[in-house]
Structure 1
């Protein structure tokens, strides 16, 4: 089935609102997530905006709260760096100042410890004799996790010259 073959569901305003309230009560969502969901239903732009505003007014939606949870989860469980977290939040149309506030809540010591842990783990699992290639692999790995170049380079040097 192709996306253009999908028919948008017909749903009333009140039914859409109650479904969105249910979804938001079970899991933190941001406005763009809800808007995407509402786009699947044949609702007017005004109705979509009213639903989102109602969810915000009734505290079902809160961009700051969502961003805080997102940052903590991606940092703690996925071991992502600030760059990757920030990029994903920007894709969800979260305002820059809210992203920065949430990222500032990450302790610098824990952040660097996290980077050192993932680099140490990767170094143990990498079978590379050539020091230059090992550093390149570690760098690419940490960069794909969203860590800053200056930190990556500092910790790679620290780990490689530890022995």
Structure 2
């Protein structure tokens, strides 16, 4: 496997590189710190670079979190729990995470889960009600949706399925 050689770059060169990276794509402090560690930048210099990026608005944790939530919800169809977990892993403060998650419309969120559950249901071959419910529930959990919401929607879907002709 190809591995980059460990080469040391100057603090000023590292600052320029991460400014360029941050100007092209939203990043959080932990993403940048990881990159600086990969470049063997000392902890003191890392702190100095990150402070500079924050002051110059190259990094804004709140802005990053809002974009992250919107992208993962809309494009990846993730639920609030999975998004929150990944943001906590990136060391984003809980208050910023909650503020961004609150911007998700509850009705749209519910419809989104309903759509992906219906799509998943069409791909399942089981006729056993219990097996269908289990598989749909596991699927909703893997996407990071709340248990009670998932169970309610699954029950609604399966009761609609039971009422349709041809289901035994």
TM-score range normalised by the length of the shorter chain: over 0.9
> Matches of 2:122 and 2:45 in 1, distance apart?
55
Match of 1:69 in 2: 67
Q: TM-score, normalised by structure 1?
A: 0.95
What is the aligned residue count?
Answer: 161
Deviation at 1:126, TM superposition (A): 0.7
Name structure 2 gaps, 5 residues minimum.
164-168
Runs of 4+, deviation exceeding 4 Å: none
CA contact (8 A) 1:9 1:40 kept: no
Secondary structure at 1:105's aligned position in 2? Answer: coil
Q: Which residue of 1 aligns with 2:142?
A: 144
Mapping 1:15-34, distance limit 5 Å: 15-34=13-32
- Give distance in 2, aligned partners of 1:125 and 1:19: 46
Per the TM alignment, residue 42 of structure 1 is displaced from its structure 2 partner at its CA by 2.6
Task: Say whether residues 1:86 and 2:96 are aligned partners.
Answer: no
Cα drift, residue 7 of structure 1: 4.7
Any stretches of 5+ residues in structure 1 without a counterpart?
Answer: none
Residue of 88, 93, 96 corresponding to 2:94: 96
Deviations 1:97-149 (A, max 9, x none): 10000000000000000010000100111111100000000000011000000
Matched with 2:120 is 122
1:43 matches 2:41: yes
2:55 to 54, 57, 63: 57
